Amino acid sequence: MAKNAQKKTLKAQNMTQLAIFASGAGSNADKIMDYFKDSDRIKVALIVCNKPGAGVLEIAKKWGIEAILIEKQGFFSEKSCILALKQHKIDFIVLAGFLWKVPEVLVAAYPQRIINIHPALLPKYGGKGMYGDKVHAAVIAAGEAESGITIHYVNEHYDEGNIIFQAKCPIEVGDTPADLATKIHALEHAHFAKVVEGLLV
């Protein structure tokens, strides 16, 4: 084996391999892949997506990272997702705009090794159906003066696992859900990859 290839293989053996589950535009996935692109400790090895045509699939292509599309039946009833994760030697799972509830079988297969980002200050404004602009609209309608992001471990209940990290931003009078989404994305992009790194290195 050529020296460089050998070096690469050795490097890969010591790496923590991440899978990012995402089904939206994928801006968080993009930031995470950028952050770890030269890392010799953490590698984004797989994108798991449940939405054909989602922006994150193009982003995976841009970074040359394999993406798999899953469908609900297989994800819930069989262990096909777990098999795929094991095949790709995935150690840790990051949910970045993934809206399905993670099935118990997957939580059990990756105990304390699945984290999610939520675009509000949990425990408020979480749960089934609370995602993206719906969250921001609810926060603004409630007259909150601030919102933020929560990164938390995933358990079998929506948005209820132990909180790892939160960061806040102010809400100004007249802010729309789109304005708040911009502030929240900025917080996510600034913190998410660093929090992942802090958990793994």
Residues acting as catalytic residues: 118
With contacts defined by CB under 6 A, name the span among 42-50, 75-83, 164-172, 182-190 that binds ligand GAR.
182-190
Distance CA 192, CA 194 (A): 5
With contacts defined by CB under 6 A, name the span among 22-30, 45-53, 104-112, 162-170 that binds ligand GAR.
22-30
Q: How far out from the chain centre does Cα 64 lie?
A: 18
* Residue 39: partners with Cβ closer than 8 Å, 6 or more residues away: 15
How near is the Cβ of 149 to ligand GAR at its closest, in Å?
Answer: 7
Nearer to ligand GAR, 42 or 49 (CB): 49
Farthest-apart Cα atoms in the chain, separation: 63
Nearer to ligand GAR, 78 or 133 (CB): 133
With contacts defined by CB under 6 A, name the span among 6-14, 75-83, 166-174, 183-191 that binds ligand GAR.
183-191
Does residue 25 touch ligand GAR according to CB under 6 A? yes
Nearer to ligand GAR, 103 or 132 (CB): 132
* Residue 12: partners with Cβ closer than 8 Å, 6 or more residues away: 43
Distance CA 170, CA 168 (A): 7
How near is the Cβ of 100 to ligand GAR at its closest, in Å?
Answer: 10
Does residue 131 touch ligand GAR according to CB under 6 A? yes
DSSP assignment of 110-162 equals STT-EEEEESS-TTTT-STT--HHHHHHHHHHTT-SEEEEEEEE--SSTT-SP
How near is the Cβ of 56 to ligand GAR at its closest, in Å?
Answer: 6
- Taking a C-beta distance cutoff of 8 angstroms, is the pair 122, 163 a contact? yes
**Cα separations (Å) of 113 from 43, 171, 175, 200?**
15, 32, 36, 10
The footprint of ligand GAR on residues 55-114 (CB under 6 A) is 96-97, 99
Nearer to ligand GAR, 25 or 140 (CB): 25
How near is the Cβ of 116 to ligand GAR at its closest, in Å?
Answer: 7
> What residues make contact with ligand GAR under the rule CB under 6 A?
22, 24-28, 96-97, 99, 117-119, 130-132, 135, 184-185, 188
